[in-house]
Amino acid sequence: MTQHLANCTPRVPASRMRTSTPCISIGGIDHSPSALSGTSEARSPLAQGNELVSSLFWRALVGLLAFDVFGFGRNFARMHRFVNDWRTSPEKAPGFTVEQVCQAVNYACVWYPKRVLCLQRSAVTTCLLRSLGVPAKMVMGAQTLPFKAHAWTEVNGHAINERRPVHRIYEVLERC
């Protein structure tokens, strides 16, 4: 099975940027009210009842909640140790791609009741991928001027679920 390692961040087509009805695009699929009431081809895998993406969605949602419950947002050292100690499963789970994991995490971030920042998203994505047998790394980087910091997930050295070329923008400070 091949893994899709390219950018799997949702993109909203320019033609849908300014509409009178709310337009939400996740995974390149229109989730506006008009699209959701249409045929199943216009609906998201989650809305269509895709069991794999649905299962990954719930695992990602629980992971986002665990991040907050364990207080990882307030205790960086504890979060770092937790992600660093999360081992990659020796057996790869069949029937999924890295893109589907990214899609499930994106859905979970949309439905999570509070704003999800990059550190929380990358920690959950990394742990979820590792539990499925993918050797993912959580990466933290910074830019000096103007100062910006960012966290992302890499698989085989490629940033996933990112819109920007993070390797060119940020200097890597840590991989775990």
Paired residues of 160 in beta bridges: 153
Span 36-89, pLDDT tens digits: 444 445 555 555 557 878 899 999 999 999 999 999 989 999 999 999 999 999
The yes-or-no verdict on residue 141 having pLDDT over 90 is yes
Q: Alpha-carbon distance 128 to 120, whole Å?
A: 12
Sign of the Cα torsion 62, 64, 69, 70 reads positive
Span 83-126, pLDDT tens digits: 999 999 998 877 788 999 999 999 999 999 999 999 999 999 99
Place of tokens 């997930």: 153
Structure confidence at residue 49 (pLDDT): 54
The yes-or-no verdict on residue 140 having pLDDT over 80 is yes
- Calculate the alpha carbon distances from 167 to 120, 122, 142, 157 in Å: 19, 15, 10, 10
Q: Which residue has the higher pLDDT, 153 or 35?
A: 153
CA dihedral 113, 116, 122, 126 (to 10 degrees): 0
Place of tokens 């099975």: 1
- Calculate the alpha carbon distances from 53 to 20, 86, 126, 127, 143 in Å: 29, 22, 16, 16, 34
Structure confidence at residue 173 (pLDDT): 95
Residues 6 or more apart from 137 whose CB is under 8 A from it?
126, 153, 154, 155, 175, 176
